[in-house]
Amino acid sequence: MTIDALFETGADHQADAAPSITIPRPDDWHVHLRDGVMLRAVLPYTAAQFARGVIMPNLVPPVVTVADAHAYRDRILAGRPEGSDFEPLMTCYLTDNTDPDEIERGFAERGWIAAKLYPAGATTNSSHGVSDLAGLAPVLERMEKIGMPVLIHGESTDPEVDIFDREEVFMEHTLLPMLKRHLGLKVVVEHATTSGTVDIVRAHAPRMAATITPHHLVINRTSIFQGGLRPHLYCLPVAKRESHRLALRRAVTSGESCFMIGTDSAPHMRSAKQAECCSAGVFGGVTALQTYVQVFDEEGALDRFEAFASLNGPRFHGLEPNRGTVTLVKKPGVAVAAVPIGDEDIVVFRGGETLPWSVGGTKP
């Protein structure tokens, strides 16, 4: 499937007169592709923008064994559009019963690239997650020994903690002690949303990094309530105050190697979002690069976009940057408003809006 088949652009503007930026093909270091019909519906959009993707394992049931990871990878490869070379990088879902030997075997065989730590009950399909972090010590010690990163959904699940404070509480009471206990462990804080988290990541680089989503760079917590409740902007971690959004923008445009793309694109059917109990997740895979490059342009940092988008992630994970390129053009474009699935659809983040940047094309 071609870029033109997925994205509409403003036909009344001359592409050859528009400023553009060409970078090595980027990777998405945190993406949810789901499974079945939803996988086949959303995968083409991620594959059109990114060469590789770190695939989240929170399926039902979750990806907990090497065999699970191989089977899920096969389903993703089978769902790629014709001609796509998108490479899924698999992860293991950590539980209270994870076997360190299985972790090491999967990493040695490249069955997975990292393990995902969900505090039990923290977000979508996390009920099988870790409830006893102390009991996970043998697994983390093994990961530390073999150089395997742990990807952390960093939120407290204490019901007494305010939802806007859950990341801060987790960082102070859980993450910092973990870093002291496991001095060699490689850690990625997923979808960082606060200035405090940014500071912690900086202080512990290079063995620590953070992914930052496109939506947390352009919305704050007020956005969720503007003109009424906006369920399609609700995600976990929830967007924070404006001061935190600005701190995230400074972080991604700083040129520091500890920050990388991670869209956390998390599709849910419209009926699950516009529901009595709204599912958490923003489906941003369609408009991710357009949003990221807009932020860098607004911050006067286009010269630093290549590092954030294409180099920092591979460096942290010990991989080579991609050989192909993607071109982004400062030409107004409109992405699809929603992705249909049968009688339903998935609402696209910033879909249907006129965005100042467009995806111009890719080269292998």
Q: Which residue in the list 12, 264, 297, 343 is annotated as catalytic?
A: 264
Check whether 264 is labelled as a binding-site residue.
yes
What does DSSP say about strands 325-329 and 358-363: parallel, antiparallel, or unpaired? Answer: antiparallel
What does DSSP say about strands 325-329 and 259-261: parallel, antiparallel, or unpaired? Answer: unpaired
What does DSSP say about strands 344-347 and 338-341: parallel, antiparallel, or unpaired? Answer: antiparallel
| DSSP string covering 51-68 | SEEEE----SS---SHHH
Check whether 182 is labelled as a binding-site residue.
no
CB 55 within 8 A of CB 89: yes
Long-range contacts of 129-133 (CB under 8 A, 24+ apart): 129/93, 129/94, 129/95, 130/94, 130/95, 130/96, 131/96, 132/96, 133/174, 133/178
Check whether 355 is labelled as a binding-site residue.
no
Check whether 30 is labelled as a binding-site residue.
yes
Check whether 33 is labelled as a binding-site residue.
yes
Check whether 191 is labelled as a binding-site residue.
yes
CB 39 within 8 A of CB 70: no
Check whether 173 is labelled as a binding-site residue.
no
**Catalytic (active site) residue 27:** no
Check whether 331 is labelled as a binding-site residue.
no
Check whether 13 is labelled as a binding-site residue.
no
Check whether 34 is labelled as a binding-site residue.
yes
Question: What 8-state DSSP symbol labels residue 175?
Answer: I
* Side-chain half-sphere CA neighbours of 91 within 13 A: 26
Q: Would you please indicate which residues are annotated as catalytic (active-site) residues?
A: 264
- Provide the annotated binding site: 30, 32-34, 58, 116, 153, 191, 236, 264, 268, 280
Binding residues for substrate: 32-34, 58, 153, 236, 268, 280
Residues belonging to the binding site for Zn(2+) are: 30, 32, 116, 153, 191, 264
